[in-house]
Amino acid sequence: MLQKTLSTIFIVLFAIALLGVLLTSTIDRSDYKTKAYYLETISKLQDLKPDSSEGDSWLVGWSKINATPAEPANLVGYAPRGNYDFVLDSSFVRALVIGNGMQNVAILNYELLIVHPYLADRIKQRIENENLPIDFIYFTATHTHSGIGGYIPGLMGKVAFGGYDESIVNMLEQKTLEGLQNALESQDSASVSFQVSLTDSLVYNRFVHEDPVDPYIRQLVFRKSTGEKATFLTYSAHPTTLAVKFMGLSGDYPHYLMDKFETGLYDFALFAAGTVGSQGPSRTGNQPEHTKAFAEAVFQQAISNVEEEETVDRKKIGFTRLPVALREAQYRLGKNIRLQPWVFESAFGESNAHFDAVLIGNTLLISSSGEVSGTFMQDWEKLAKSRGLNLMVTTFNGGYIGYITPDAYYDYEYHEVRSMNWYGPYNGTYFIELVNGLIGKDW
């Protein structure tokens, strides 16, 4: 009897050990600059030549389309919560088309947590099929943690990101096409300006409180010859002002901030999440009234604390895309233990890591597939200024690779760094180098 029991224990332990060998491995901490993925991406960066044109006038159009599902859908953000119980805010798709008579760039915005690669590919294909006169598509999201799901296929989509619902994807496709067509039809001659406002005590570094934050609201402002006005703005405070267990559909504070801009000041506002990695909102509570109060505080400081404003005279448009190769996936189970890359990739699917970059006059927009930390922004902006450029950095560009934070944070016990830094270590330094290289291109 004892022998049989010992044999059973041995078999169980052997099976556990075998599973451990098959499903896990140790963290790769070797120097990223010796890796093939780094050399591949740096070579592409060096060879990159932005497509550009210069016209005689700015032509700008915009559109805002209600994209609230007809029936309750899964909420995406924090943890699986199921279908929302009520609609606190309608959800919108926004389209902004900027042209110079020779090329058109479309900035698309969704009140979603992320723009998943599958959704981005579907939308790009629809735009191509409709033969719309769009030369480059720049995806953005507000990054609300109380937005709809249903657009993320695969195992992890089903488990953690609201699953997949073909009707949701079809709806978002159709609303995007409708928005782009309306924006193109409304294009008119316009002036363009850039401005920066400082916010005080509204953003904090949620990992290391003493480390830098990105407290600036950056805006492109468009004024049509008809007198209509629009703004494209970025901000770094994470849209996590509502409670984790909140069961309403909401765009979080970006929704109310856009509403504030569209009440009397502008006819259209588009908010894109900026360098939200490691940047938290200094809100006073986690109920809708606190969300609205935070949006009001951001708005008041945006209009009161303008530190920089200039007209964008040169009618130049440029754009490029940099595919980014990465280290093997390292989803961590402990300080030095990770899932085998094939397990992670089977669950999460294609990451589509890349940078998009768009030049509007002398303002450079750069969008990352990773949630880049606001701690990097000051140095990037300084470099851009030295090259005569204004800089706006956004995230959620149709790829998603988790968080990009300073390398010093890699072993800290924070969920966003431990569980969401999927391709580290050293991605902080890696991304600093890549963004520096994009800024340094011949724009």
pLDDT tens-digit profile of 391-400? Answer: 999 999 999 9
Please state, in angstroms and rounded to a whole number, the distance separating the CA atoms of residues 419 and 413: 9
| Tokens standing for residue 328 | 């093997």
Q: List the single range of 164-173, 293-302, 329-338 with lowest mean pLDDT.
A: 329-338
CB 230 within 8 A of CB 345: no
For range 415-438, the mean pLDDT: 91
% of the chain surpassing 70 pLDDT: 95
Least confident of 4-13, 293-302, 367-376: 4-13
C-beta atoms surrounding 425 within 10 Å = 19
How far, in Å, CA of 90 to CA of 255, rounded? 9
Is 238 a residue whose pLDDT tops 80?
Answer: yes
The answer to whether 47 and 122 have CB atoms below 8 angstroms apart is no
| Tokens found for residue 60 | 């700008």
pLDDT band at residue 22 under the 50/70/90 scheme:
low
Residue 108: pLDDT band by 50, 70, 90 thresholds?
Answer: very high
Amino acid at the residue 402: G
Q: How confident is the model at residue 1 (pLDDT cuts 50, 70, 90)?
A: low
pLDDT in tens, 342-386: 888 887 888 999 999 999 999 999 999 999 999 999 999 999 999
- Kindly report, residue by residue over 30-54, the tens digit of the pLDDT: 999 999 999 999 999 999 999 999 9
How confident is the model at residue 8, as a pLDDT? 45
Strand, helix or coil for residue 110: strand
Over the stretch 47-76, which tens digit does the pLDDT of each residue have?
Answer: 999 999 999 999 999 999 999 999 999 999
Q: Does the pLDDT of residue 7 top 60, yes or no?
A: no
Per-residue H/E/C for 264-322: CCCCEEEEEECCEECEEECCCCCCHHHHHHHHHHHHHHHHHCEEEEEECCCCEEEEEEE
Euclidean distance between CA atoms 86 and 77, whole angstroms: 16
* Domain definitions of the chain by residue range: 32-443
pLDDT above 50: residue 13: no
* Separation of alpha carbons 8 and 189, rounded Å: 79
**Structure token digits, residue 81:** 């919560």
Mean pLDDT, the chain, whole residue set: 92
